[in-house]
């Protein structure tokens, strides 16, 4: 049933290979251990550094240590959306199944990271601002990003046919991508109009290196973790969709 | 009625694009007028909001006046959102959508006509009724102009974005809520700039910036949304 | 019946060609390696029991469904490259009649005429008369009986200039006289060089009808 | 090392609840993102194996 | 076909009696002074072209529609006084199949069994097998083909304990084998003392079938 | 699933009333769970209102706290009202309503089960989610108890009254607006007493009186509404 259209030979070879679920399954199987070890080391090291050795903030005290998960998760949640939309577009244009699967795998991952950013932000807000939630620009736009993810996931689960679901969500993700800068811009503007400037997050505190170095480690660690989780989800999705192909059957029987 | 039947010169192939757009618009408006309630939909919803809030929240003019700019915009947004689910559903269920997709006429035009008809039936009456609502909620008179202008520029964008959600969910058994979830995050910029414009008008600040932004979003929507809607419709029907 | 004979099989060049079609729904393979072609002047009946995939096949042929693998050719060109031409030449009549309940038969056909360039919109009333809806031109369609409702959609057969008709159970809810009349119409269309692909559970009285049975094709049951 | 004692470390200068809550949630969410796909994969493979066995048993 | 013969007309005492029925729709008189009766063991086909009022008549007989003048009697009693008994004895199969698209065939029939006291709900799977839906018991109905969808509703004929069947075009979308099977079922029901009133545009192969043509009754055309 | 199939003992005629009620309730809940979005409906609508108002009106906590008691109630009312149109429509369109009307089982029970299922899918989650909404809108903690109690007593009444409107309009091509018009006047007492109870709770006044009135309306509704709904359904289908 798998038919590789051979008339599009202007595409580089790796593009075809990438388009083959089986090749993808194999290559991710080889990459996974390396990324897992890297992610584990970076996250563990970063956490120890962040909790034990980084200095406390002179104003916020030790609650400042939340930054080491808050900022990486917030950054990741945003880049994950880009990746999802990009993969969706590739799937839509070149009918590449693996890209569809990557896009599908991105959604729950991104949503959980957005949730993490929101949760850590809310927790951080309590000691610093005295309230779990305020209608601040950054917070609101992260909430909206979470809604965008939830929309993509809901649409995916509502459509039974895999191809249709992938195409529909790709359209939605692309529309959302156009909107993300608009949302960010509008929310920030709205906030500066209504909100007293006390809660402003935009100015970068001039941090000493012993504060931002562990942050850098954590961010890189989060990216590695992101790769690991994405590959795990992707592999599951590949197996699910190809479950009746001979190579998966062989894999099942060889267990 | 019979205009629909005759506005297409027999065998003409070349310049029929405008003809199809006009025929589609006429048909959609006719459909809306036939089920008269569609016409009243936003009107009723608007009036409902205007009566329920004083009853449920507080009848005090000062408080309502503070509430009014945002409330009118939220009501407009909800009214549009709630009418969105039925945008393509009836056509999907009786097979007319299939026929439109199989037609050699450009789908974008048909889709654009549908969205325009939707706006004429919801956004436009909303805009025209807004002063009444403003009055009932004690919106200062200075805000009326800003209110109407912002709605005039903002509601078409709402219709366009909403239509994308409607097209994506038309093939599903229950689209109602899903649409809200898909579309709401995209509506928020319109809401913010729209209510911002009214607030600026009330407080006497310049509102040209807001209106320019609303206009820019509308322009972007008119260009991009029909493409997304058309693609989504084909995907939904093919599934 | 059948005073007009259909042209013999294979005489004309193929209009629509299907190669190696594969389709599965819900884990069940409906057809695999299905290939056939159909020329001008031919009438092809897709046969098969309920659930054998007739509707699925017709929706693929019409271009509505993309859930398949394999190749379709229209007058020798891959379908994807000539979609516009194909749509111009196609009349699709599906399970759903495509009739708006709140519009009158006249208005419904008016909209169809606008959608299909080349349709002669002046003859709408004549088409309605042909399908026995004279006197109902101005009645909203939700006030029609089940058969009358489908007749509104069938009137498109009299209106259209399309050469390829794809008809999915066109005779549902139509009375006997109506069925006989539609059979004549199909024969006439084929005799004039048109092509018809249809499904129906009615006994057809057509000379030279080609048949394609899907039951024998299904991989599993 | 910025902390004098274990209790000091747990207490985080009065912000212990918040810091540990945040790190706890982070751990939970990260673990979830690893465990969930692994479990799904295992379930899928088991299910397929069962299918294969059933088909073999039938034929 | 028809190995079981129907009992001759008029032999049994009338089960359902219609007296002087008058109905108009949208200003058109559909029937005026329509009277007939039907006994146990009889099969009555209501005939008429599209729009002649078959569905309207069946909806009146079933008690769904009140848009009429005249009298209906069930086993000699005026209908209004024995509604409950009548509903217990009735199986109505209308243009709409009464099948929930998101439920499975099993769940749909389960609900029907709960609605009709006396229905043997244990035999649902057997009924589904009878209508050729074995293997589809757990598939949501929106994933079924047009014919399969209607078969879910037809399975009620195998489940029900009702004595009077009112069937409005039960064979729509059903393939030939299915139609033949349903004809046998109708004959068996009549032979067992049941009563059937049906409409269809299919050619029926039933011995001893009574017919009532509405075209000749209509006041105007 | 198979419970539905077997909860009716074969040939049992006498005590099947409870059985039918249970079977109907199960079926309705099953239907709602199948189209999962129904489950999320009030949740999404509630969250939407809770995000839109701060964005559109004002993010200031003090202002939002004043708004909260009425806003939650208005949102509950609108959520119920908007879900009402579909209560019997799907059943009408696929013929299952016909079958229910032709059944010898008491229609009142089937109808009551349907309303109960509707409440379980909308009113109950609304009630349970109200504290979250209250939190997002900075409702004082004292008001939470009153909010939940008043919603618990008030939302079933909303479902019952709304079902009458749904039954009356089910046969019409477009019922959406008509329902609002028919039902809204009857909803207003519930809204007034409901939001009154919350306001009383916030300000520390006794709220037993409000709750008693809401309870009385509910009792009246449970007794009378099913009769009206049943009659309305028969009329709508016979037309
Ligand atoms: C629910 C609440 C919160 C949310 C959703 C949130 C969201 C975000 C986002 C989206 C970023 C941007 C990450 C990037 O792209 O660089 C960020 C950065 C940051 N947030 Fe939060 N935040 C929240 C609460 C807080 C609180 C309470 C504080 C501390 C007072 C805080 C301090 C910071 C800091 C210091 C940064 C880094 C600034 C920068 O790199 O630009 N956040 N947050
Ligand atoms: N809802 C309605 N309102 C008004 N008139 C109607 C309505 N439904 C049907 N009619 C009219 O009543 C007449 C009889 O309709 P009916 O559905 O009983 O016909 P039928 O004999 O069942 O036809 P068919 O074979 O097409 O099913 C038709 O002429 C139709 O126009
Ligand atoms: N939306 C769907 N999703 C999944 N499977 C479907 C869907 N629609 C149909 N099927 C399945 O595809 C198969 C073929 O359906 P199709 O409608 O093509 O049959 P058909 O030959 O037209 O039957 P009929 O004579 O009943 O119209 C059926 O077995 C059905 O169960
Ligand atoms: Mg079919
Ligand atoms: Mg009929």
pLDDT at A113 over 70: yes
pLDDT at F114 over 70: yes
Spatial CA neighbour of F69 closest among A232, E128, D7, B57: B57
CA–centroid distance, residue A121 to ligand 1 (Å): 6
Ligand 1, atom 10, residue with closest C-alpha: A74
Tokens of C24: 């599965």
* Rounded CA separation A231/A244 (Å): 21
Q: Kindly give the parts of chain E with pLDDT less than 70.
A: 1-12, 217-221
Question: Quick one: pLDDT band at residue F6, thresholds 50, 70, 90?
Answer: very low
Overall average pLDDT of the B171-185 stretch? 79
**How many domains does chain C contain in total?**
1
**How many domains does chain F contain in total?**
1
CA C219, chain centre distance (Å): 26
pLDDT for the residue numbered F92: 92
* Rounded CA separation A149/A157 (Å): 12
pLDDT for the residue numbered A179: 85
Closest atom of ligand 2 to E201 CA is: 25
Question: Quick one: pLDDT band at residue B36, thresholds 50, 70, 90?
Answer: low
Ligand 2, atom 2, residue with closest C-alpha: C143
Closest atom of ligand 1 to A78 CA is: 15
Query: Which carries the bigger pLDDT value, residue A139 or residue A193?
Result: A139
Residue with tokens 């009456």: B125
Average pLDDT, chain A: 84
Residue B181 at interface with chain A, using a CB cutoff of 8 Å: yes
Which of E48, E54, E174 lies at the smallest CB-CB distance from C50? E174
Question: Quick one: pLDDT band at residue C218, thresholds 50, 70, 90?
Answer: low
Task: Give Cβ neighbours of residue F180 (< 8 Å, ≥ 6 apart).
Answer: B44, B45, B48, F81
* Rounded CA separation A193/B205 (Å): 12
Which of C65, C98, C120 lies at the smallest CB-CB distance from B238? C65
SS3 of C93, please?
A: strand
Which of F11, F94, F98 lies at the smallest CB-CB distance from E64? F98
Q: Is the dihedral of CA E174, E175, E177, E183 positive or negative?
A: positive
Q: Is F145 exposed, middle or buried (0-12, 13-18, 19+ CB in 10 A)?
A: middle
Spatial CA neighbour of C153 closest among C167, C138, C139, C134: C167
**What's the start-to-end Cα distance of chain E, in Å?**
36
Please work out whether the CB of residue A125 comes within 6 Å of at least one atom of ligand 1.
yes
Q: Is position F8 within any domain? A: no
CA–centroid distance, residue C168 to ligand 4 (Å): 7
Q: Is position F22 within any domain? A: yes
Contacts with B202 from chain F: Cβ below 8 Å: none
Cα distances (Å, whole numbers) of residue B104 to A229, B17, B170, C113: 46, 11, 22, 12
pLDDT at C106 over 90: yes
Q: Which domain holds residue D54?
A: 17-58
Greatest mean pLDDT among A9-23, A120-134, E10-24, F100-114 lies in F100-114
pLDDT at F14 over 80: no
Q: Is position F56 within any domain? A: yes
Percent of the residues in chain C that have a pLDDT greater than 70, as a whole number: 92
Percent of the residues in chain B that have a pLDDT greater than 90, as a whole number: 46
Spatial CA neighbour of A56 closest among D30, D27, D4: D4
pLDDT at B10 over 50: no
Q: Is D39 exposed, middle or buried (0-12, 13-18, 19+ CB in 10 A)?
A: exposed
CA–centroid distance, residue A72 to ligand 1 (Å): 10
Q: Which domain holds residue C160?
A: 14-99+156-213
Q: Is position F68 within any domain? A: yes
Question: Quick one: pLDDT band at residue F17, thresholds 50, 70, 90?
Answer: confident
Q: Is position D7 within any domain? A: no
CATH number of E185's domain:
3.40.50.300
Q: Is B16 exposed, middle or buried (0-12, 13-18, 19+ CB in 10 A)?
A: buried
CA angle D42, D48, D51 (to 5 degrees): 145
> C134, C144, C151, C177: which to mutate for ligand 2, most atoms within 8 A of CB?
C144
Q: Is position D10 within any domain? A: no
Contacts with C107 from chain B: Cβ below 8 Å: 1, 4-5, 27, 30
Q: Is position C207 within any domain? A: yes
SS3 of C71, please?
A: strand
Tens-digit pLDDT profile for residues A39-91 = 999 999 999 888 887 777 767 777 788 889 999 999 999 999 999 999 999 99
Residue B138 at interface with chain F, using a CB cutoff of 8 Å: no
Q: Is position F172 within any domain? A: yes
Spatial CA neighbour of B118 closest among B163, B78, B150: B163
Q: Which domain holds residue B206?
A: 18-238
Contacts with E142 from chain B: Cβ below 8 Å: 173
Question: Quick one: pLDDT band at residue B38, thresholds 50, 70, 90?
Answer: low
Which residues are paired to E211 by β-bridges?
A: E45
Average pLDDT, chain B: 86
* Rounded CA separation C62/C75 (Å): 14
Q: Is position B88 within any domain? A: yes
pLDDT for the residue numbered A16: 64
Taking the CB of residue D42, how many other CB atoms lie within 10 A of it?
11
Q: Is position B2 within any domain? A: no
Q: Is position E112 within any domain? A: no
Ligand 2, atom 31, residue with closest C-alpha: C144
* Rounded CA separation B37/F181 (Å): 11
Q: Is position E110 within any domain? A: no
User: Which contiguous run of DSSP H or E holds residue A44?
Assistant: helix A21-48
Lowest model confidence (mean pLDDT) among D45-49, F13-17, F94-98: F13-17
Nearest ligand, measured from the Cα of E221: 2
User: Which contiguous run of DSSP H or E holds residue B104?
Assistant: none
CA angle C119, C124, C126 (to 5 degrees): 120
Residue F2 at interface with chain E, using a CB cutoff of 8 Å: yes
* Residue of F92, F93, F95, F173 to mutate, testing the C interface (most C Cβ within 10 Å of its Cβ): F173
Taking the CB of residue F129, how many other CB atoms lie within 10 A of it?
19
pLDDT for the residue numbered B11: 42
Overall average pLDDT of the B188-216 stretch? 91
Spatial CA neighbour of E171 closest among E141, E150, E195: E150
pLDDT for the residue numbered B6: 35
Q: Is A43 exposed, middle or buried (0-12, 13-18, 19+ CB in 10 A)?
A: buried
- Interface of chain C toward chain F, CB-CB under 8 angstroms: 101-102, 142
Q: Is position E207 within any domain? A: yes
pLDDT at C217 over 90: no
Overall average pLDDT of the A130-155 stretch? 86
Average pLDDT, chain C: 88
Tokens of D33: 């993102």
**How many domains does chain D contain in total?**
1
Contact F37, B23 (CB under 8 A): no
Give the pTM.
0.88
Q: Is the dihedral of CA A89, A90, A91, A95 positive or negative?
A: positive
Residue with tokens 């759903």: C96
Contact (CB<8Å) C22/A161? no
Contact C197, C61 (CB under 8 A): yes
Query: Which carries the bigger pLDDT value, residue F210 or residue B45?
Result: F210
Closest atom of ligand 1 to A128 CA is: 30
pLDDT at F10 over 60: no
Tens-digit pLDDT profile for residues C164-204 = 999 999 999 999 999 999 999 999 999 999 999 999 998 88
Q: Is position B13 within any domain? A: no
* Rounded CA separation C116/C90 (Å): 9
ipTM of this complex: 0.87
Q: Is position D49 within any domain? A: yes
* Rounded CA separation A231/C102 (Å): 52
Query: Which carries the bigger pLDDT value, residue C93 or residue B18?
Result: C93
Tens-digit pLDDT profile for residues A180-218 = 888 888 877 776 544 443 444 445 555 677 778 889 999
**Minimal CA separation from C81 to chain A, in Å:** 14
* Rounded CA separation B70/F201 (Å): 27
pLDDT for the residue numbered A199: 40
Domain boundaries, chain A: 68-242
Spatial CA neighbour of B231 closest among B188, B190, B189, B170: B170
Phi, psi of B123 (to 5 degrees): -60, -45
């Amino acid at each position: 049933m798998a038919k590789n259209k051979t008339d599009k030979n202007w595409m580089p070879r790796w593009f075809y290979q990438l388009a083959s679920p089986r090749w993808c399954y194999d290559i991710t199987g080889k990459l996974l251990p390396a990324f897992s070890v890297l992610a584990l080391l970076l996250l563990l090291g970063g956490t120890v550094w962040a909790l034990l050795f980084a200095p406390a903030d002179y104003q916020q005290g030790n609650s400042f240590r939340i930054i080491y998960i808050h900022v990486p998760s917030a950054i990741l949640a945003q880049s994950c959306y880009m990746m999802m939309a990009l993969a969706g577009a590739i799937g839509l244009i070149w009918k590449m199944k693996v890209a569809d699967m990557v896009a599908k795998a991105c959604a729950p991952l991104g949503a959980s990271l957005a949730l993490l950013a929101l949760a850590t932000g809310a927790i951080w807000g309590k000691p610093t601002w005295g309230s779990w939630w305020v209608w601040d620009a950054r917070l609101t736009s992260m909430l909206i990003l979470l809604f965008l993810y939830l929309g993509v996931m809901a649409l995916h689960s509502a459509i039974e046919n895999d191809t249709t679901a992938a195409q529909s969500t790709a359209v939605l993700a692309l529309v959302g991508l156009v909107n993300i800068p608009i949302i960010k811009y509008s929310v920030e503007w709205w906030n500066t109009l209504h909100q007293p400037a006390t809660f402003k997050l935009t100015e970068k505190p001039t941090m000493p290196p012993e504060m931002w170095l562990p942050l850098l480690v954590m961010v890189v660690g989060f990216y590695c973790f992101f790769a690991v989780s994405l590959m795990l989800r992707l592999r599951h999705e590949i197996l699910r969709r190809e479950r009746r192909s001979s190579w998966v059957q062989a894999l099942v029987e060889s267990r | 009625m019979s205009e629909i039947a005759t506005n297409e010169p027999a065998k003409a192939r070349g310049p029929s694009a405008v003809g199809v757009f006009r025929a589609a618009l006429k048909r959609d408006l006719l459909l809306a007028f036939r089920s008269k309630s569609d016409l009243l939909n936003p009107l009723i919803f608007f009036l409902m909001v205007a009566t329920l809030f004083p009853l449920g929240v507080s009848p005090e003019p000062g408080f309502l006046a503070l509430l009014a700019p945002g409330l009118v915009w939220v009501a407009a947004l909800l009214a549009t959102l709630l009418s969105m689910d039925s945008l393509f559903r009836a056509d999907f269920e009786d097979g007319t959508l299939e026929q439109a997709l199989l037609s050699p006429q450009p789908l974008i035009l048909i889709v654009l006509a549908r969205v325009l008809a939707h706006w004429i039936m919801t956004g436009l009456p909303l805009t025209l009724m807004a002063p009444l609502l403003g009055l009932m909620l004690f919106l200062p008179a200075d805000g009326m102009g800003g209110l109407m202008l912002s709605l005039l520029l903002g509601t078409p964008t709402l219709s366009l974005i909403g239509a994308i959600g409607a097209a994506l969910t038309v093939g599903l058994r229950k689209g109602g809520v899903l649409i809200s979830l898909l579309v709401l995050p995209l509506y928020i910029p319109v809401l913010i700039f729209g209510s911002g414009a009214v607030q600026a008008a009330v407080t006497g600040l310049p509102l040209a910036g807001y209106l320019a932004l609303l206009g820019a979003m509308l322009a972007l929507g008119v260009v991009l949304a029909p493409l997304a809607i058309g693609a989504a419709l084909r995907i939904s029907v093919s599934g | 019946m059948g005073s007009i004979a259909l042209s013999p099989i294979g005489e004309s060049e193929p209009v629509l060609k299907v190669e190696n079609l594969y389709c599965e729904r819900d884990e069940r393979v409906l057809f695999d390696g299905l290939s056939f072609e159909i020329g001008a002047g031919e009438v092809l009946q897709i046969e098969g029991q309920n659930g054998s995939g007739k509707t699925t096949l017709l929706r693929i042929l019409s271009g509505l469904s993309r859930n398949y693998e394999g190749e379709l050719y229209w007058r020798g060109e891959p379908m994807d490259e000539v979609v516009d031409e194909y749509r111009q030449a196609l009349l699709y009549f599906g399970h759903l009649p495509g009739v708006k309940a709140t519009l009158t038969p006249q208005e419904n056909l008016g909209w169809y005429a606008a959608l299909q360039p080349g349709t002669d919109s002046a003859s709408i009333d004549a088409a309605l008369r042909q399908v026995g809806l004279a006197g109902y031109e101005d009645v909203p369609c939700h006030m029609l009986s089940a058969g009358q409702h489908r007749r509104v959609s069938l009137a498109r057969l009299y209106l259209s200039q399309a050469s390829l008709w794809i008809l999915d159970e066109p005779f549902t809810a139509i009375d006997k006289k109506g069925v006989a009349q539609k059979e004549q119409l199909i024969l006439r269309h084929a005799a004039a060089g048109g092509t018809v692909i249809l499904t129906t559970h009615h006994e057809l009285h057509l000379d030279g009808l080609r048949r394609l049975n899907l039951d024998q094709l299904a991989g599993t049951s | 090392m910025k902390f004098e004692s274990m209790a000091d470390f747990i207490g985080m200068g009065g912000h212990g609840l918040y810091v540990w809550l945040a790190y706890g949630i982070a751990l939970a969410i990260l673990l979830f993102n690893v465990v969930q796909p692994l479990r799904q994969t295992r379930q899928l493979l088991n299910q397929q194996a069962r299918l294969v066995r059933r088909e073999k048993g039938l034929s």
